[in-house]
Structure 1
Amino acid sequence: MSVQDTPSAAEDERYSPRTAAELLLRAAHEHPDNGIGCLDDDPEAAPYTMRYPQLLSEATRLLHALRARGARPGRPVVLLLEQPRNFLPALWACLLGALTACPLTPLRGDPERWAAQLHHVAALLDDPLVLTTPELRAQMPAEVRLDVADLTELATGDIPRLSGDVVARPEDLALLVLTSGSTGTAKAVQLTHANLVASMRAKAEAHGAGPADITFNWVSYDHVAAVLEGHLLPVATGATQLHMPPHAVLADPVVFLRALSAHRVTATFTPNFLLGLINTRFGAGPLDDGLDLSHVHRIISGGEANPVATGKRFLELLAPHGLARTALWPAFGMTETCAGSLYNCEFPGADADGEFAAVGRAVTGLEVRIADPATGATPPAGTPGEVWLRGPMVTTGYYRDAAATAAALTPEGWLRTGDLGLLEDGRLTLAGRGKDSIIVNGVNYYSHDLESVLTEVEGVAPSFVAAFPVRPSGSDTEQLAVLFAATVVNEELPHAVARVRDRVVAHWGFRPAVILPLPRSEFSKTSLGKVQRGVLRARWEAGSYTAREQEVAALLAETAGGHSDPQGPTETALAEIYAELFGLTAISATAGFFDLGGTSLDVLRLARTVRARLGVELAVLDVLRAPSARELARLIDAPSRAGVAYDPVVTLQAGGEGTPLFCVHPGVGEVLVFVNLAKHFAGERPFHALRARGFNPGEKPFGSFTEMTRSYVAAIRRVQPHGPYALAGYSFGAAVAFEIAKVLEADGERVAFLGSFNLPPHIKYRMEELDFVETAVNLAMFLGLVDADEAGRLPRRLRSLPKTEQIATLLDSAPPGRLAQLDLDLPRLSAWADLAHGLTSLGRTYHPTGQVRAMTVFCADPLRGTRHDWVEKELRRWDEHTREDARYVDVPGEHYTMIGPRHVHAFAALLRAELARAFPVNALDPGATR
């Protein structure tokens, strides 16, 4: 069929393309003024344009040249071409002439991998014709023997008549797309013309796509999303499309936004990691005021998991630039399904409660089912299973690989994706990837889940993280390895390693066996920017990183002060307990408990183990004040441990030259809540917590707010005699910190920083709501014994019970194992509830008066109501009590979770920024003297 022979829609409403070739014929005939724009590095420059009739002509000329060069149906043509103006005509030459195209991207920075890639392609495709440019041909590894054709030499001569050249049939093989596995095992996915046409028809319907669209693609062409979502779909709809080389966007993610704005783009595709980079870029300063994203209808985001928080933050940050709240569509697709095949058009509204966004609903023609991966049976409702897909856009199999095809496709035509998911009301949510799982002690964990969390950690380069399983010699279970690219210098690496370790512990509950910072150059990536875990794992298992591991271990040991063998029976026993807790074979007697990665839960585990083995009742405060095995042994072996004077100051982090930060406890009186926050300031500034009186035997709780304030002021001045001071309080503690600041300022001292962690000045009204039952239930929720829903129901049930039964009921409500983790029993929880109730009673009498110089208020979601009302009607009342304008800083999370494991990293970064404002680096900082 020639372009002259193609019927218009008006001439034949029943006309429907059957091959990919006919898609271009129709676009050239019906939308001759639309076509392709090729951008270079400047997103706002005028593009090089190629309208669809011109694309058709260039492809026809190249098809004749390829045939003369030996290309024929059945012999794959490898397209080693990077620039759109080269790649796209070559692709269409293949599609028009029933030649099978195989896109490939050069691996310039890794000659060894590039050679392995080409060797594999040559063997798999059985002597393909490789079409490339003279520049790339000169750089190809010389040891690989391939039949290489020069595009520059072929793309010359007259344009022949098209008629008779379009010979493709629906069943013909159109594309071979290599999977993103390691080069030695990459498979070639077969996509027929019928697959492509069915996919384009379904995508266009799902997107609401049409010729008025302007699309934008920056992904390289070896990725199926670039070829199909970024190019073939706008051809199928007759839309205008723009293409830009990947390096321009990866070098500066704002280029992506500037391109959307400058060219009034309506639709684009990008993986989630770019959204994260853009979110991070906003933190470095404001973007161009001229950005206009009001015309963007959809940003398809697939290729990796989409954390809800990342997507919501992206939409919030770009809303002032006109981006619609509904513009981000998480999606799912595979090379085997012609890229995107499920789209979540209901984000973020339908995903508010999830950690990862659903991938949405299937396009027309695609069937989805959830199956038991072992039996193929449908699992019970609500149980995750393997996602199986079937439809006309699904591959026929893998090229020359019958075993892989049989493993992936059932006899009934279902594609086994390897992804685990849940299907509810036609909406698919992924629960992990079977082949990317890490099995530790019989439990499956998923790499993408952890990697998305670790990219938020300070000191970790976003999108340069790999988590994979390892099995050390002699181990009976898999263990976790985390490799990451650091954004800090060598001196700061120990802190970055510690933060990664702490985040893994907080997120998954166990420590990695390997944490290794590597140069960015070691992180092999796919063209879509996904780290190739398999390559890194193979290198680690081959011992390629042994020298680097030794170097990092020496650096960590140096930071910890070297190794010191334990001495004496108590010290030796404690060192053995420490080693067991942290999964180490040996431990230095001088290594600090928290420097080793100890968490607040580990403190309680340590106390329980010491009680069982040494018969010693260890208080939490003992570990906080004597964190190493040596210091703790001296404390335990002291002639008498009774009668120690009460000191509210607990030093959670002693190092650093910055002004010390003193944080006052929340209403539960304990300071364990600050342990993970304090780690973020290691080596920067001392971090002290103020603990309520009444936890230790014989201690009498405070009798008044004034007594508590005076006690804390005296303790602070013993540690730091003079200002400037840095003070903060969490919840109830913010009111106490405010009173401490008033006393210090009245004494002529300067309080350079005062922070309220989500507490308004007027607390008596909330305190008056809290009787003993409410206080005990809140304590139970704070400790994770009950969830928020249960906490709302319990008070009515408990009030009719005697006090002892109230506490016993809370203990009975705890999840299995939680009480053991916390080392809690009836007497301990009862005493803690009494102490918390006493602090609540003090709060009922508190009425804020007077003013301090300034305050920073960290604003999280309130216990009830909206954040907006909470900030405007409650928290902003601090303006009445500050001589300068108070600062209000939004932080992620809710009142009880704002400095918990999920949000502490973001909170620490915001707190650090506020401290930097109060204590500029070049300013004299006499408060560092302790």
Structure 2
Amino acid sequence: MFSAQPSTTSHPTPTPTAVPPPATLTDLLLAAVEHHPDSGLRHCHGAAHLGYEDQSHPELLDRARRILTGLRARGLRPRDRIVIALDRAQDFLPTFWAAVLGGFLPCPLAVPAGDPAALTERLRHVGALLGGPLTVTNAALADRLPPAAHRQVVRLEEFDGAEPAEELHRAAPGDTAVLMLTSGSSRAPKAVMLSHAALLSSMVAKNGHQRLTAADTTLNWVSFDHVAALLECHLLPLSTGSRQVHAPAAAVLDDPLEFLRLIDRHGVTMTFSPNFLLGLVAAAAGRLTATGESLDLGRLRHVISGGEAVVVPTGEAFLRVLAPYGLAPDALWPAFGMTETCAGSVYSRGEFPEADRGAEFAGLGTPVAGLRMRVVDEAGRVLPEGEAGELQLRGPMVTTGYFNDPRATVEAFTDDGWFRSGDLGRIEDGRLTLVGRSKDSVIVNGVSYFSHDIEAVLERLDGVTPTQVAAFPTRPADSDTEQLVIAFTPDLPVGDEAGLHGVMTAVRSTVVMHWGFRPALVLPLPAEAFPKTSLGKIQRSHMRRGLESGAYEDHRRAAADLRQRMLGGHTPPEGPVERVIAEIYAELFGVDPAAISATASFFDLGGTSLDILRLRAKVAQRLGVTGLAVVTVLTASTVRALAALVTGRIRTGTGSDTGRHPYDPVVPLQTSGAKTPLFCVHPGVGEVLVFVGLATYFAGDRPFYALRARGFNDGEKPFASYPQMVDAYVDAIRARQPHGPYALAGYSYGASVAFEIAKVLESEGERVDFVGSFNLPPHIKYRMEELDFTETATHLASFLDLIDKEQAALLPATLRGLPKETQVARLIALAPAARLAELDLDEGRFAAWAEVADALTDLGRGYEPAGTVRAMSVFHAEPLRGTREDWLEHQLRRWDEHTTGPNRYLEVPGEHHTLMGARHVAAFQAILRRELDRCMAGADAARAAGGRVRTSLAGGNEK
């Protein structure tokens, strides 16, 4: 397979016209099998050097037939819907074809990496939209879903060994072939119906421009929920007998140069890239020169660039820096297409960059055969050539509408049958140029995010005025993609700078946690700065123009000054390592390197646990220090502290982070703010990563310190007794804050520890005004006695999202009695690779972590609560087992036995393991901060008035 020459197998026919063109996708696949049996698909394992596996067209058909047998055995019939949640091409494509061959309606769904809650929520919505479809996924993903979802979920592995189906469904050309969701980011996407006839018309039309043959090789690295991956990079080459190379997205996004290496290694002649990747490749290409790496890009005939506007300087730089490697000067083809138009339908073929010199954005060229374009004004009148208006489209490749959404279908078309694209454009000499969008959305790195989705989440935050939130795009002159701006009116007392900074941080953190990227600008504005229609709708396009014309410059500058003050001022980095670390921080957080202070904390700047992985990669790439441990970032989070540790690795020549750090229980996750610090004790797993997202909401309000167990560092022994642990934590807290009033809290196991710390502090004559329990009763001995090493290790794996709750319940019975190292190996084998990478875990590190957790469990077996504190604030979520009511009344309220004053019991959303997760943390932090402010009002007022206790912004001792 993948020989240099296309197949020459002869298939005699009476005349060329005796073989009709395919009428359905089934005909398309069967034709590829018959006429191009030696061609097919190459599935890369990752980076170019990691190898691949080939799959011929007949092998693709055979596996699809076997999966079809399994689906039919589940009772599926033609027209039934199937959600395909599979991230590997070698799994997705045979499953897609099984659905087509059976007459089912496949709907590709993006698989969020390491986030089962997000996948569950996405499945819930799509399930409601499609009327209870079957979801096909793999065992690892299925096992991470809640048990209630399993009734509608089937594991692909269940079909292994099935016999290939003989009978195939014969669809009509007008039947719907696939349902494509309009956006992988929207919380309420629509399902676009694409028929067999539309798809096949599109393939023929596309190839009128692209001219692929059986001698071509295409490359795809985009997930199959994106219409370009399925149509442009699979169905199109399938229709021409071209060879296809499919690589995982992470291989390219983790190192953009892998895009070029894959092209070189596999002789690629056509591929796809949004503008943001063009920019990343151009920026990274200097490394090729530095290392002398040799690449041959001479066979690459064209790169289709769609999904977002091509910035002319970015495209020019891409072509320029890759010219020495053989890339043709006209190889970049800016293109336009939508899910509703079967992906690419307008191409600038060989016209870029000559036709676009001096422009900001590239023109998009001419439409494929059969597609008609027009531009109309607000009244629907067709505009003359060159005038800008709404772009409307018509042709055989345009969708007939949206599944189960007649209202959206009607709204998408004009009375005379033209599809409303939602884009603003102009047509000159038959060439299309886009000038904006009439639909309110932001396109970041090729993905659309709808403004109203973002606003609906943010307006629920404390301190944000409902209906006074606007999410809109901007694109700085030097940016390769659009950036998100969030404007809002604060709901705060005038002059409350700390409160305003906290709200700005909450807005930024919420966007990161929900959508995975940072807004470029969070802009507080007075209500009168929001232009609105007569019906009260915010005019986002007017706000964008205002921002880009400088109308909000005073507000923008004031927000930047406030943030800088709250972060403790600016200390310029010194020396080459500090400057490189500052540059890395700036890249991670999308700010000017000159704005990064040497005393700026990774977490104060908005760093998350996900960012730690990116930080590790950049430090290895730029400074040669590999394996940067999570604890290094946790305990040395400022530019200066991290640079000092990295410099030590460089000087000793180790080139790696050994993880040997002096033990200090206190991890400063957030150090700004003038209020009394909050000290939070770790849960039973001993680590404090669970607090990272929560701590960001305290920026500018009060410092947030986490207490980390002993035993994680190399050669470090876990605590030998419960009193030893408590005394160590008391000493560490008093080193940071010598005198009260104190604010303490603990999550799960940590609540009992926080209670004991409070008792010691009160016995020493100090005041403790807040003691918080995050969903734990005072009596834990009975639970600790249930846990042996097997239960503890399994619980730890579940806590870290390596396995799901159901696995955690079932696995101990199969693991108990095996050697510890075998138990660890089996748990790690079940974990998603992306989650292990995110947490920097392997068998050795997980085993060490499990030993720490087991040691803490052992301490808890002998723990009996005694004595009292003044009062407790108990935050209750769904328990691990039983009902919330029973949990509250018969377990949590036993804290009343251990306080001299009345306790408060506060309900928070989520379950025990998810109350601080991405979905619930914004609501939880608001409840927690209100309660803290109530309890600490007197102490906070005294500090504000210049009392004896002052918080050190640098995280040092307080005096």
Task: Bin the TM-score by the shorter chain.
Answer: 0.5 to 0.7
Letter in 1 for 2:912: H
Q: CA deviation at 1:667?
A: 0.7
Would you say 1:877 and 2:886 are equivalent positions? no
| Alignment correspondent of 1:473 | 477
Q: CA deviation at 1:382?
A: 11
Query: Equivalents in 2 of 1:869, 1:374: separation in Å?
Result: 55
Given that 1:855 and 1:887 are in contact with CA atoms closer than 8 Å, whether structure 2 keeps it comes out as yes
CA change 1:575–1:768 in 2 (3 A) is: same
Q: CA deviation at 1:890?
A: 0.8
Q: CA deviation at 1:685?
A: 2.8
Would you say 1:486 and 2:487 are equivalent positions? no
| Alignment correspondent of 1:426 | none
Q: CA deviation at 1:760?
A: 0.7
Q: Secondary structure at the match of 2:603?
A: coil
Which of 368, 371, 396 is residue 193 of structure 2 equivalent to?
Answer: 371
Q: Secondary structure at the match of 1:507?
A: helix
Q: CA deviation at 1:700?
A: 0.7
Would you say 1:506 and 2:513 are equivalent positions? yes
Given that 1:420 and 1:433 are in contact with CA atoms closer than 8 Å, whether structure 2 keeps it comes out as no
Query: Equivalents in 1 of 2:739, 2:758: separation in Å?
Result: 13
Would you say 1:581 and 2:588 are equivalent positions? yes
Deviations 1:603-648 (A, max 9, x none): 3442454355332664444433433212322344468999864221
Given that 1:658 and 1:927 are in contact with CA atoms closer than 8 Å, whether structure 2 keeps it comes out as no
Q: CA deviation at 1:755?
A: 0.9
Given that 1:386 and 1:421 are in contact with CA atoms closer than 8 Å, whether structure 2 keeps it comes out as no
Given that 2:632 and 2:659 are in contact with CA atoms closer than 8 Å, whether structure 1 keeps it comes out as no
Q: CA deviation at 1:399?
A: 5.7
Given that 1:370 and 1:422 are in contact with CA atoms closer than 8 Å, whether structure 2 keeps it comes out as no
| Alignment correspondent of 2:642 | 632
Q: CA deviation at 1:461?
A: 1.9
Would you say 1:765 and 2:782 are equivalent positions? yes
Query: Equivalents in 2 of 1:588, 1:374: separation in Å?
Result: 57
Letter in 1 for 2:552: Y
Would you say 1:556 and 2:563 are equivalent positions? yes
Q: TM-score, with normalisation over the residues of structure 1?
A: 0.53
Query: Equivalents in 2 of 1:448, 1:479: separation in Å?
Result: 16
| Alignment correspondent of 1:899 | 916
Q: CA deviation at 1:737?
A: 1.0
Q: Secondary structure at the match of 1:480?
A: strand
Deviations 1:732-751 (A, max 9, x none): 00011111222222333322
CA change 1:461–1:415 in 2 (3 A) is: farther
- Matched pairs, number: 559
Q: Secondary structure at the match of 1:590?
A: coil
CA change 1:700–1:817 in 2 (3 A) is: same
Query: Equivalents in 2 of 1:652, 1:892: separation in Å?
Result: 23
| Alignment correspondent of 2:615 | 606
Letter in 2 for 1:473: A
Deviations 1:104-139 (A, max 9, x none): xxxxxxxxxxxxxxxxxxxxxxxxxxxxxxxxxxxx
Which of 603, 619, 633 is residue 623 of structure 1 equivalent to?
Answer: 633
| Alignment correspondent of 2:309 | none
Letter in 1 for 2:922: H
CA change 1:511–1:747 in 2 (3 A) is: same
CA change 1:694–1:877 in 2 (3 A) is: same
Given that 1:409 and 1:416 are in contact with CA atoms closer than 8 Å, whether structure 2 keeps it comes out as no
Letter in 1 for 2:543: L
Which of 532, 536, 546 is residue 539 of structure 1 equivalent to?
Answer: 546
Q: 1:62-81 alignment to 2 at 5 Å?
A: none
| Alignment correspondent of 1:519 | 526
CA change 1:622–1:422 in 2 (3 A) is: farther
| Alignment correspondent of 1:717 | 734
| Alignment correspondent of 1:590 | 599
Query: Equivalents in 2 of 1:822, 1:496: separation in Å?
Result: 28
Letter in 2 for 1:591: A
Deviations 1:670-692 (A, max 9, x none): 12222232233333333222110
Deviations 1:434-477 (A, max 9, x none): 94443322333332222222113333222222223333324333
CA change 1:896–1:525 in 2 (3 A) is: farther
Given that 1:387 and 1:417 are in contact with CA atoms closer than 8 Å, whether structure 2 keeps it comes out as no
Q: TM-score, with normalisation over the residues of structure 2?
A: 0.52
Given that 2:193 and 2:402 are in contact with CA atoms closer than 8 Å, whether structure 1 keeps it comes out as no
Please say which of residues 661-670 and 441-450 is displaced more in the overlay: 441-450
Would you say 1:569 and 2:576 are equivalent positions? yes
| Alignment correspondent of 1:810 | 827
Query: Equivalents in 2 of 1:376, 1:448: separation in Å?
Result: 31
Q: CA deviation at 1:720?
A: 2.7
Query: Equivalents in 2 of 1:754, 1:406: separation in Å?
Result: 60
Given that 1:386 and 1:416 are in contact with CA atoms closer than 8 Å, whether structure 2 keeps it comes out as no
Query: Equivalents in 1 of 2:472, 2:379: separation in Å?
Result: 29
Q: 1:32-43 alignment to 2 at 5 Å?
A: none
Q: Secondary structure at the match of 2:891?
A: helix
Given that 2:791 and 2:812 are in contact with CA atoms closer than 8 Å, whether structure 1 keeps it comes out as yes
CA change 1:633–1:472 in 2 (3 A) is: same
CA change 1:827–1:685 in 2 (3 A) is: same
Please say which of residues 889-898 and 635-644 is displaced more in the overlay: 635-644
Q: CA deviation at 1:759?
A: 0.2
Letter in 2 for 1:754: V
Q: CA deviation at 1:413?
A: 14
Q: CA deviation at 1:702?
A: 0.8
| Unpaired runs of at least 5, structure 2 | 1-119, 123-127, 130-147, 153-189, 203-223, 228-337, 342-376, 384-388, 409-420, 424-438, 653-657, 951-957
Q: Secondary structure at the match of 1:928?
A: coil
CA change 1:514–1:842 in 2 (3 A) is: same
| Alignment correspondent of 2:358 | none
Query: Equivalents in 1 of 2:862, 2:567: separation in Å?
Result: 47
Given that 2:193 and 2:399 are in contact with CA atoms closer than 8 Å, whether structure 1 keeps it comes out as no
CA change 1:719–1:513 in 2 (3 A) is: closer
Given that 1:649 and 1:691 are in contact with CA atoms closer than 8 Å, whether structure 2 keeps it comes out as yes
Which of 433, 450, 461 is residue 446 of structure 1 equivalent to?
Answer: 450
| Alignment correspondent of 1:744 | 761
Q: Secondary structure at the match of 1:453?
A: helix
| Alignment correspondent of 2:927 | 910
Query: Equivalents in 2 of 1:530, 1:419: separation in Å?
Result: 27
Q: RCO higher in 1 or 2 (8 Å CA, sep ≥ 6)?
A: 2
Given that 2:872 and 2:899 are in contact with CA atoms closer than 8 Å, whether structure 1 keeps it comes out as yes
Larger Rg: 1
Which of 785, 789, 793 is residue 776 of structure 1 equivalent to?
Answer: 793
Query: Equivalents in 1 of 2:405, 2:576: separation in Å?
Result: 51
Query: Equivalents in 1 of 2:544, 2:193: separation in Å?
Result: 30
Please say which of residues 869-878 and 567-576 is displaced more in the overlay: 567-576
Would you say 1:655 and 2:477 are equivalent positions? no
Deviations 1:207-227 (A, max 9, x none): xxxxxxxxxxxxxxxxxxxxx
Given that 2:509 and 2:697 are in contact with CA atoms closer than 8 Å, whether structure 1 keeps it comes out as no
Given that 1:898 and 1:907 are in contact with CA atoms closer than 8 Å, whether structure 2 keeps it comes out as yes
Letter in 2 for 1:821: E
CA change 1:914–1:772 in 2 (3 A) is: same
CA change 1:474–1:607 in 2 (3 A) is: closer
Which of 465, 480, 498 is residue 461 of structure 1 equivalent to?
Answer: 465
| Alignment correspondent of 1:928 | 949
Given that 1:660 and 1:928 are in contact with CA atoms closer than 8 Å, whether structure 2 keeps it comes out as no
Given that 1:663 and 1:728 are in contact with CA atoms closer than 8 Å, whether structure 2 keeps it comes out as yes
Query: Equivalents in 2 of 1:742, 1:476: separation in Å?
Result: 56
Given that 1:605 and 1:823 are in contact with CA atoms closer than 8 Å, whether structure 2 keeps it comes out as no
Deviations 1:152-188 (A, max 9, x none): xxxxxxxxxxxxxxxxxxxxxxxxxxxxxxxxxxxxx
Q: CA deviation at 1:872?
A: 1.0
Q: 1:374-453 alignment to 2 at 5 Å?
A: 401=381, 407=392, 416=401, 435-453=439-457
Would you say 1:669 and 2:653 are equivalent positions? no
Q: CA deviation at 1:831?
A: 1.0
| Alignment correspondent of 1:341 | none
Q: Secondary structure at the match of 2:925?
A: helix
Please say which of residues 664-673 and 796-805 is displaced more in the overlay: 796-805
Deviations 1:350-369 (A, max 9, x none): 99x99xxxxxxxxxxxxx98
